Amino acid sequence: MTNQPVHSPQFFLTAPSPCPYLDGQFERKVFTHLVGEKAAELNDLLTQGGFRRSQNIAYRPACETCRACISVRILAGEFKPNRSMKRIIARNDDLVAQEFPAEPSSEQYSLFRGYLDARHQEGGMSDMTVLDYAMMVEDTHVPTRVIEYRIGADGLDGDDSERGKLIAVALSDLMGDGLSMVYSFFDPDYSDRSLGTYMILDHIVRAQDRGLPHVYLGYWVAGSSKMDYKTRFLPQEHLMSGGWERYEG
Protein backbone atom coordinates (compact mmCIF):
# COMPACT_ATOMS: atom_id res chain seq x y z
CA MET A 1 0.00 0.00 0.00
CA THR A 2 1.41 3.40 -1.03
CA ASN A 3 1.16 6.31 1.38
CA GLN A 4 0.54 9.70 -0.24
CA PRO A 5 1.72 12.92 1.39
CA VAL A 6 -1.12 14.83 3.00
CA HIS A 7 -0.71 17.76 0.57
CA SER A 8 -1.03 15.56 -2.54
CA PRO A 9 -4.54 15.83 -4.01
CA GLN A 10 -6.61 12.69 -4.40
CA PHE A 11 -8.74 12.36 -7.51
CA PHE A 12 -12.09 10.64 -7.83
CA LEU A 13 -14.34 9.66 -10.76
CA THR A 14 -18.08 10.19 -10.93
CA ALA A 15 -20.55 7.63 -12.26
CA PRO A 16 -21.90 8.21 -15.82
CA SER A 17 -24.89 10.55 -16.15
CA PRO A 18 -26.74 12.05 -19.15
CA CYS A 19 -24.80 14.86 -20.81
CA PRO A 20 -26.52 18.27 -20.43
CA TYR A 21 -25.09 19.51 -23.75
CA LEU A 22 -25.15 16.65 -26.29
CA ASP A 23 -28.11 14.33 -26.73
CA GLY A 24 -27.32 10.65 -26.42
CA GLN A 25 -23.99 11.19 -24.65
CA PHE A 26 -23.05 10.40 -21.06
CA GLU A 27 -20.66 12.45 -18.99
CA ARG A 28 -18.19 11.46 -16.29
CA LYS A 29 -15.99 13.82 -14.31
CA VAL A 30 -12.73 13.47 -12.47
CA PHE A 31 -12.58 15.72 -9.41
CA THR A 32 -10.59 16.65 -6.34
CA HIS A 33 -11.06 18.90 -3.32
CA LEU A 34 -9.65 22.43 -3.14
CA VAL A 35 -9.01 22.97 0.55
CA GLY A 36 -6.21 24.11 2.80
CA GLU A 37 -3.40 26.60 2.45
CA LYS A 38 -2.35 25.28 -0.97
CA ALA A 39 -5.85 25.54 -2.48
CA ALA A 40 -5.12 28.66 -4.55
CA GLU A 41 -1.89 27.24 -5.93
CA LEU A 42 -3.62 23.96 -6.80
CA ASN A 43 -6.55 25.78 -8.40
CA ASP A 44 -4.16 27.72 -10.65
CA LEU A 45 -2.40 24.54 -11.71
CA LEU A 46 -5.59 22.57 -12.33
CA THR A 47 -7.34 25.40 -14.18
CA GLN A 48 -4.34 25.69 -16.48
CA GLY A 49 -4.76 21.94 -17.02
CA GLY A 50 -8.42 22.17 -18.02
CA PHE A 51 -10.23 21.90 -14.69
CA ARG A 52 -13.08 24.09 -13.48
CA ARG A 53 -13.99 25.07 -9.93
CA SER A 54 -17.38 24.62 -8.26
CA GLN A 55 -17.33 25.55 -4.56
CA ASN A 56 -14.40 23.62 -3.08
CA ILE A 57 -14.26 21.07 -5.91
CA ALA A 58 -12.11 21.15 -9.04
CA TYR A 59 -13.37 18.93 -11.87
CA ARG A 60 -12.90 18.19 -15.53
CA PRO A 61 -14.67 15.90 -18.03
CA ALA A 62 -13.48 12.31 -18.20
CA CYS A 63 -16.08 10.94 -20.61
CA GLU A 64 -15.51 7.49 -22.07
CA THR A 65 -16.72 8.05 -25.65
CA CYS A 66 -16.63 11.83 -26.17
CA ARG A 67 -14.01 14.60 -26.20
CA ALA A 68 -16.26 17.50 -27.20
CA CYS A 69 -15.56 19.65 -24.13
CA ILE A 70 -12.59 21.94 -24.81
CA SER A 71 -11.16 24.39 -22.28
CA VAL A 72 -11.08 27.97 -23.57
CA ARG A 73 -9.11 30.99 -22.43
CA ILE A 74 -9.07 34.44 -24.03
CA LEU A 75 -5.73 36.10 -24.75
CA ALA A 76 -6.63 39.30 -22.93
CA GLY A 77 -3.53 41.26 -23.90
CA GLU A 78 -4.20 40.82 -27.61
CA PHE A 79 -7.96 41.13 -27.55
CA LYS A 80 -9.69 43.86 -29.54
CA PRO A 81 -13.50 44.11 -29.49
CA ASN A 82 -15.18 43.82 -32.87
CA ARG A 83 -17.86 46.23 -34.09
CA SER A 84 -20.71 44.30 -32.50
CA MET A 85 -18.91 44.15 -29.16
CA LYS A 86 -18.22 47.89 -29.26
CA ARG A 87 -21.95 48.47 -29.63
CA ILE A 88 -22.59 46.28 -26.57
CA ILE A 89 -20.01 48.24 -24.57
CA ALA A 90 -21.65 51.53 -25.62
CA ARG A 91 -25.12 50.17 -24.78
CA ASN A 92 -23.96 49.49 -21.23
CA ASP A 93 -21.90 52.60 -20.57
CA ASP A 94 -24.39 53.62 -17.88
CA LEU A 95 -23.60 50.58 -15.74
CA VAL A 96 -21.51 50.86 -12.59
CA ALA A 97 -19.53 47.76 -11.59
CA GLN A 98 -18.08 47.08 -8.17
CA GLU A 99 -15.93 44.17 -7.00
CA PHE A 100 -16.54 42.55 -3.59
CA PRO A 101 -15.20 39.61 -1.56
CA ALA A 102 -17.09 36.35 -2.12
CA GLU A 103 -20.08 37.15 0.10
CA PRO A 104 -23.69 36.43 -0.95
CA SER A 105 -26.65 38.76 -0.47
CA SER A 106 -30.42 38.41 -0.64
CA GLU A 107 -30.41 40.93 -3.50
CA GLN A 108 -28.04 38.71 -5.49
CA TYR A 109 -30.14 35.63 -4.81
CA SER A 110 -33.33 37.37 -5.96
CA LEU A 111 -31.61 38.18 -9.26
CA PHE A 112 -30.19 34.65 -9.48
CA ARG A 113 -33.61 33.10 -8.85
CA GLY A 114 -35.21 35.20 -11.57
CA TYR A 115 -32.45 34.26 -14.00
CA LEU A 116 -32.87 30.54 -13.35
CA ASP A 117 -36.66 30.70 -13.62
CA ALA A 118 -36.44 32.49 -16.96
CA ARG A 119 -33.48 30.71 -18.55
CA HIS A 120 -32.82 27.36 -16.83
CA GLN A 121 -36.10 25.95 -15.53
CA GLU A 122 -35.06 22.38 -16.27
CA GLY A 123 -31.34 22.65 -15.48
CA GLY A 124 -29.48 21.06 -12.63
CA MET A 125 -29.46 24.35 -10.70
CA SER A 126 -33.18 25.04 -11.05
CA ASP A 127 -34.09 24.07 -7.48
CA MET A 128 -31.26 25.92 -5.72
CA THR A 129 -32.33 27.57 -2.47
CA VAL A 130 -30.90 30.70 -0.90
CA LEU A 131 -28.62 28.47 1.19
CA ASP A 132 -27.43 26.66 -1.94
CA TYR A 133 -26.64 30.01 -3.52
CA ALA A 134 -24.75 31.14 -0.43
CA MET A 135 -22.63 27.98 -0.58
CA MET A 136 -21.93 28.51 -4.28
CA VAL A 137 -20.52 31.96 -3.54
CA GLU A 138 -18.75 31.64 -0.21
CA ASP A 139 -17.60 27.99 -0.14
CA THR A 140 -14.20 28.77 -1.65
CA HIS A 141 -10.61 28.41 -0.47
CA VAL A 142 -9.18 30.42 -3.36
CA PRO A 143 -9.21 34.20 -4.07
CA THR A 144 -12.76 34.74 -5.36
CA ARG A 145 -14.63 37.93 -6.17
CA VAL A 146 -18.26 38.91 -6.74
CA ILE A 147 -18.71 41.68 -9.30
CA GLU A 148 -22.03 43.51 -9.23
CA TYR A 149 -23.30 45.53 -12.19
CA ARG A 150 -25.86 48.24 -11.43
CA ILE A 151 -27.90 50.64 -13.52
CA GLY A 152 -28.84 54.13 -12.37
CA ALA A 153 -26.26 54.23 -9.60
CA ASP A 154 -25.73 57.58 -7.86
CA GLY A 155 -23.05 56.22 -5.56
CA LEU A 156 -21.34 53.00 -4.54
CA ASP A 157 -21.54 53.34 -0.75
CA GLY A 158 -25.13 54.42 -0.17
CA ASP A 159 -28.30 52.39 0.30
CA ASP A 160 -29.74 50.20 -2.49
CA SER A 161 -31.64 53.08 -4.09
CA GLU A 162 -28.48 55.19 -4.32
CA ARG A 163 -26.41 52.27 -5.53
CA GLY A 164 -28.82 51.59 -8.36
CA LYS A 165 -30.66 48.50 -9.53
CA LEU A 166 -28.64 45.29 -9.60
CA ILE A 167 -29.01 43.72 -13.06
CA ALA A 168 -25.99 41.39 -13.39
CA VAL A 169 -23.51 39.49 -11.22
CA ALA A 170 -20.32 37.57 -11.96
CA LEU A 171 -18.52 35.15 -9.64
CA SER A 172 -14.86 34.95 -10.62
CA ASP A 173 -11.57 33.55 -9.35
CA LEU A 174 -8.42 35.66 -9.29
CA MET A 175 -5.53 33.50 -10.50
CA GLY A 176 -1.84 34.06 -11.02
CA ASP A 177 -2.24 34.18 -14.80
CA GLY A 178 -5.76 35.46 -15.26
CA LEU A 179 -9.38 35.63 -14.22
CA SER A 180 -11.56 32.52 -14.27
CA MET A 181 -15.29 33.19 -14.71
CA VAL A 182 -16.98 30.65 -12.46
CA TYR A 183 -20.60 31.70 -13.00
CA SER A 184 -22.54 34.77 -14.12
CA PHE A 185 -26.21 35.70 -14.30
CA PHE A 186 -28.37 38.69 -15.13
CA ASP A 187 -31.87 40.16 -15.16
CA PRO A 188 -33.66 38.61 -18.17
CA ASP A 189 -35.73 41.80 -18.53
CA TYR A 190 -32.54 43.46 -19.80
CA SER A 191 -31.71 40.85 -22.43
CA ASP A 192 -31.39 43.58 -25.08
CA ARG A 193 -28.20 44.72 -23.33
CA SER A 194 -26.38 41.39 -24.06
CA LEU A 195 -25.21 41.33 -20.45
CA GLY A 196 -23.54 37.92 -20.70
CA THR A 197 -21.27 39.22 -23.45
CA TYR A 198 -20.75 42.50 -21.62
CA MET A 199 -19.54 40.76 -18.45
CA ILE A 200 -16.95 38.82 -20.45
CA LEU A 201 -15.78 42.04 -22.12
CA ASP A 202 -15.56 43.68 -18.70
CA HIS A 203 -13.46 40.78 -17.38
CA ILE A 204 -11.07 41.15 -20.30
CA VAL A 205 -10.55 44.80 -19.33
CA ARG A 206 -10.09 43.82 -15.68
CA ALA A 207 -7.46 41.25 -16.68
CA GLN A 208 -5.69 43.83 -18.84
CA ASP A 209 -5.72 46.36 -15.99
CA ARG A 210 -4.12 43.78 -13.69
CA GLY A 211 -1.54 42.79 -16.29
CA LEU A 212 -2.96 39.26 -16.46
CA PRO A 213 -2.77 37.42 -19.80
CA HIS A 214 -5.90 35.26 -19.69
CA VAL A 215 -9.63 35.13 -19.06
CA TYR A 216 -10.77 31.53 -18.58
CA LEU A 217 -14.28 30.80 -19.89
CA GLY A 218 -14.62 27.13 -19.02
CA TYR A 219 -15.63 24.64 -21.71
CA TRP A 220 -16.62 25.14 -25.28
CA VAL A 221 -18.67 22.17 -26.49
CA ALA A 222 -18.51 21.66 -30.23
CA GLY A 223 -22.02 20.94 -31.50
CA SER A 224 -23.79 22.68 -28.61
CA SER A 225 -25.49 25.95 -29.55
CA LYS A 226 -25.41 26.96 -25.87
CA MET A 227 -21.63 27.28 -26.06
CA ASP A 228 -21.14 28.94 -29.45
CA TYR A 229 -20.72 32.40 -27.89
CA LYS A 230 -17.41 31.42 -26.28
CA THR A 231 -15.54 31.28 -29.58
CA ARG A 232 -16.40 34.89 -30.48
CA PHE A 233 -13.75 36.37 -28.18
CA LEU A 234 -10.61 36.22 -30.29
CA PRO A 235 -7.77 35.52 -30.17
CA GLN A 236 -8.07 32.68 -27.69
CA GLU A 237 -6.43 29.37 -26.85
CA HIS A 238 -7.95 25.90 -26.67
CA LEU A 239 -6.49 23.12 -24.53
CA MET A 240 -5.78 20.21 -26.86
CA SER A 241 -3.90 16.93 -26.38
CA GLY A 242 -0.58 18.68 -26.95
CA GLY A 243 -1.30 21.69 -24.74
CA TRP A 244 -2.78 25.13 -25.30
CA GLU A 245 -3.17 25.96 -28.99
CA ARG A 246 -4.02 29.33 -30.50
CA TYR A 247 -7.50 29.61 -32.06
CA GLU A 248 -8.62 32.48 -34.27
CA GLY A 249 -11.85 31.11 -35.69
Question: Domains plus CATH for the chain?
Answer: 12-68 (no CATH), 73-247 (3.40.630.30)
CB 108 within 8 A of CB 163: no
State the Rg of the chain over Cα: 18
Q: Is pLDDT at 3 greater than 60 in this prediction?
A: no
CB 218 within 8 A of CB 72: yes
| Cβ neighbours around 55 below 10 Å, total | 15
Least confident window among 42-51, 85-94, 115-124, 170-179? 115-124
Higher pLDDT residue, 227 or 173?
Answer: 173
CB 27 within 8 A of CB 19: yes
Burial of 81 (0-12, 13-18, 19+ CB in 10 A): middle
Which are the contacts of 202, defined by CB distance < 8 A and separation ≥ 6?
97, 147, 149, 170
Cα–Cα distance measured from residue 117 to residue 243, given in angstroms and rounded to the nearest whole number: 38
Mean pLDDT across 211-239: 94
Q: Is pLDDT at 248 greater than 90 in this prediction?
A: no
Q: What is the pTM of this model?
A: 0.91
- Element housing 69 (H / E): strand 69-75
CB 151 within 8 A of CB 94: yes
CB 164 within 8 A of CB 148: no
Cα–Cα distance measured from residue 26 to residue 14, given in angstroms and rounded to the nearest whole number: 11
Cα torsion angle, 125, 116, 90, 86, sign: positive
Which are the contacts of 22, defined by CB distance < 8 A and separation ≥ 6?
66, 68, 221, 223, 224
At 19-70, the pLDDT tens digits run: 988 989 999 999 999 999 999 999 999 999 999 999 999 999 999 889 999 9
